[in-house]
Chains A and B, each alone.
Chain A
Amino acid sequence: MTATNPQTGKGQAKTKVMTMLEAINDAMKVEMRNDDRVVVFGEDVGKKGGVFGTTMGLHEQFGDNRCFDTPLSECGILGAGVGMAVYGMRPVAEIQFLDFIYPGFDQIVSEAAKMRYRSGGEYTCPMVIRSPYGGGIRGGHYHSQSSEAYFCHTPGLKVVIPSTPADAKGLLISSIRDEDPVMFLEPKAIYRHAKDEVPVGEHTVELGKARIAREGTDVTVLCYGAMVPVCEKAADLAQEEHGRSVEIVDLRTLVPLDEHTILESVKKTGRVVVVYEAPKTGGFGGELSAIIAEKAIEYMEGPIVRVAGFDTPFPYSLEHLYMPDPKRVAAGIEKTFVW
Chain B
Amino acid sequence: MSLELVTILDKDGKAQRGKDPNLPPEELQRLYKLMCATRALDERGLALQRQGRIGFYLQSTGQEASHLGSAYALQDSDWLFPAYRQPGILLLRQIPYEKIIAEWFGNSGDTSKGRQMPVHYSFRQANFVSISSPIGTQLSQAAGAGMAAKARGEDTVFMTFCGDGGTSSNDFHCGLNFAAVYKAPVVFVCENNGWAISVPNDKQTASESMAIKADAYGMPGVRVDGNDILAVYRVTKEAVERARRGDGPTLIETVTYRIASHSSSDDADRYRDKKEFEAWQKKDPIARFQRYLKHKKLWSEDFENECVEGTKDEIAAAVKVAEAMPPVGPETMFEDVYMNPTQQLKDQKKHLHDLVQKGGVGAEVGHFPL
Binding site for B on A (CB under 8 A): 39, 65-66, 70-71, 73, 75-76, 78-84, 86-89, 91, 103, 106-107, 110-111, 114-124, 155-156, 158, 179-180, 208, 255-257, 259-260
Taking the nearest CB of chain A, how far is it from the CB of B251, in angstroms?
Answer: 16
Residue-by-residue, is B263-295 near A (CB-CB < 8 Å gives 1, otherwise 0)?
000000000000000000000000000000000
Given contacts A116-B338, A119-B115, 18 further A-B pairs with CB under 8 A are: A75-B173, A75-B174, A76-B143, A76-B178, A79-B144, A80-B143, A83-B144, A86-B145, A106-B170, A110-B132, A111-B132, A115-B130, A117-B115, A118-B132, A119-B122, A120-B112, A122-B124, A208-B342
Q: Give the docked Cα–Cα distance between A66 and B343 (Å).
A: 35
Is B116 among interface residues, defined by CB-CB distance under 8 A? yes
Pick the residue among A79, A91, A179 that contacts B143 (CB under 8 A): A79
Q: Could you list 21 examples of A-B contacts with CB < 8 Å?
A: A70-B178, A73-B177, A76-B143, A79-B178, A82-B144, A83-B143, A83-B145, A107-B141, A115-B130, A116-B337, A116-B339, A118-B120, A119-B111, A120-B122, A121-B335, A122-B124, A123-B129, A155-B337, A179-B338, A256-B343, A257-B344
Nearest A residue (CB) for B140: A79
Q: Give the docked Cα–Cα distance between A65 and B124 (Å).
A: 26
Q: Give the docked Cα–Cα distance between A257 and B343 (Å).
A: 8
**A-binding segment of B55-63, B147-155, B229-237, B309-317:** B147-155
CB atoms of A116 and B174 under 8 A apart:
no
Is B81 among interface residues, defined by CB-CB distance under 8 A? yes
Is B134 among interface residues, defined by CB-CB distance under 8 A? yes
Q: Give the residues in chain B near A122, CB-CB below 8 Å.
A: 111-112, 122-124, 130
Residue-by-residue, is B252-265 near A (CB-CB < 8 Å gives 1, otherwise 0)?
00000000000000
Q: Give the residues in chain B near A106, CB-CB below 8 Å.
A: 134, 137, 170
Nearest B residue (CB) for A74: B174
Nearest A residue (CB) for B180: A71
Instruction: Give the tally of cross-chain contacts (CB within 8 A).
Output: 155
Q: Give the residues in chain B near A155, CB-CB below 8 Å.
A: 337
CB atoms of A158 and B338 under 8 A apart:
yes
Nearest A residue (CB) for B175: A79
Is B110 among interface residues, defined by CB-CB distance under 8 A? yes
Q: Give the docked Cα–Cα distance between A296 and B181 (Å).
A: 55
Q: Give the docked Cα–Cα distance between A313 and B35 (Å).
A: 56
Is B354 among interface residues, defined by CB-CB distance under 8 A? no
Pick the residue among B81, B110, B140, B338 that contacts A107 (CB under 8 A): B140
Please provide the 8 A-B residue pairs with the shortest distance between their CB atoms, ordered closest to farther. A79-B140, A80-B144, A83-B144, A76-B174, A83-B141, A120-B112, A119-B130, A119-B122
Q: Give the residues in chain A near B141, CB-CB below 8 Å.
A: 79-80, 82-83, 86, 107, 111
CB atoms of B111 and A120 under 8 A apart:
yes
Q: Give the residues in chain B near A80, CB-CB below 8 Å.
A: 140-141, 143-144, 147, 178
Q: Give the docked Cα–Cα distance between A155 and B335 (Å).
A: 12
Is B79 among interface residues, defined by CB-CB distance under 8 A? yes
Is B171 among interface residues, defined by CB-CB distance under 8 A? yes
Taking the nearest CB of chain B, how far is it from the CB of A211, in angstroms?
Answer: 17
Nearest B residue (CB) for A259: B343
Is B27 among interface residues, defined by CB-CB distance under 8 A? no
CB atoms of B148 and A84 under 8 A apart:
yes
Is B14 among interface residues, defined by CB-CB distance under 8 A? no
Nearest B residue (CB) for A258: B343
Taking the nearest CB of chain B, how far is it from the CB of A260, in angstroms?
Answer: 7
Q: Give the docked Cα–Cα distance between A123 and B115 (Å).
A: 13
Q: Give the docked Cα–Cα distance between A110 and B170 (Å).
A: 14
Q: Which of A115, A179, A208, A257 has the most CB of B within 10 A?
A: A115
CB atoms of A65 and B151 under 8 A apart:
yes
Taking the nearest CB of chain B, how far is it from the CB of A216, in angstroms?
Answer: 25
CB atoms of B115 and A86 under 8 A apart:
no
Q: Give the residues in chain A near B116, CB-CB below 8 Å.
A: 118
Taking the nearest CB of chain B, how far is it from the CB of A234, in angstroms?
Answer: 29
CB atoms of A103 and B124 under 8 A apart:
no
Is B89 among interface residues, defined by CB-CB distance under 8 A? no
